């Protein structure tokens, strides 16, 4: 086995880690929304955070193995804007995915956790349900945007326009 195959193997491991997140997130999210008990919603929120902890490792594996693939295949930074522009677009979509995952998701998770803590108290805020509905909408938009970006990355990988 050579370095290229090892790098491809780790790239596929990183893809698997990211797809685990993409499938597990909506499943736990639907459980969160289906549940009526605040404590169970808090538990689902903790599960979502735990699942989200896999994301930096998957991203790191993808970035490092992607760089290794580029080095092995002798693809330069300039090629990303020329002959291999599809790879540049793929990299741009991945960077957007990373930035969204590092900024939007933790913010929503923190706000929902704080709101659920307030809702579990004896005198919860009157507009708590509306705020939770709004945060759920933001989470849905985030999950859909993730899938759109990942599908775009897959299409760029498969068809290399």
pLDDT in tens, 91-117: 999 999 999 988 998 899 999 999 999
- Per-residue pLDDT, averaged over 40-45, amounts to 91
Query: What's this model's pTM, rounded to 2 decimal places?
Result: 0.85
Q: What is the DSSP string of the chain?
A: --HHHHHHHHHHHHHHHHHHHHHHHHHHHHHHHH---HHHHHHHHHHHHHHHTHHHHHHHHHHHHHHHHHHHTT--TGGGGTTTHHHHHHHHHHHHHHHHHHHHHHHHHHHHHHHHHHHTSSS--TTHHHHHHHHHHHHHHHHHHHHHHHHHHHHHHHH--
Question: How far apart, in whole angstroms, are the C-alpha atoms of residue 49 and residue 62?
Answer: 21
Q: Please, which residues have CB within 8 angstroms of residue 75's CB and are 6 or more apart in sequence?
A: 69, 84, 87
Instruction: Give the model's pLDDT for residue 4.
Output: 94
């Amino acid at each position: 086995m050579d370095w290229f195959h090892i790098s491809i193997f780790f790239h596929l491991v990183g893809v698997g880690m990211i797809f685990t997140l993409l499938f597990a997130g909506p499943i736990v999210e639907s459980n969160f929304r289906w549940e009526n008990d605040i404590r169970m919603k808090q538990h689902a929120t903790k599960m979502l955070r735990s699942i989200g902890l896999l994301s930096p490792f998957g991203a790191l594996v993808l970035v490092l193995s992607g760089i290794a693939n580029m080095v092995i295949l002798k693809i330069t930074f300039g090629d990303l804007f020329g002959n291999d522009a599809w790879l540049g677009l793929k990299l741009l979509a991945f960077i957007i995915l990373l930035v969204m995952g590092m900024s939007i998701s933790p913010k929503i998770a923190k706000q929902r956790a704080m709101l659920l803590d307030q809702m579990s108290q004896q005198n919860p805020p009157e507009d708590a349900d509306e705020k939770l509905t709004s945060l759920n909408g933001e989470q849905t938009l985030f999950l859909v945007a993730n899938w759109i970006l990942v599908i775009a990355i897959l299409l760029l990988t498969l068809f290399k326009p």
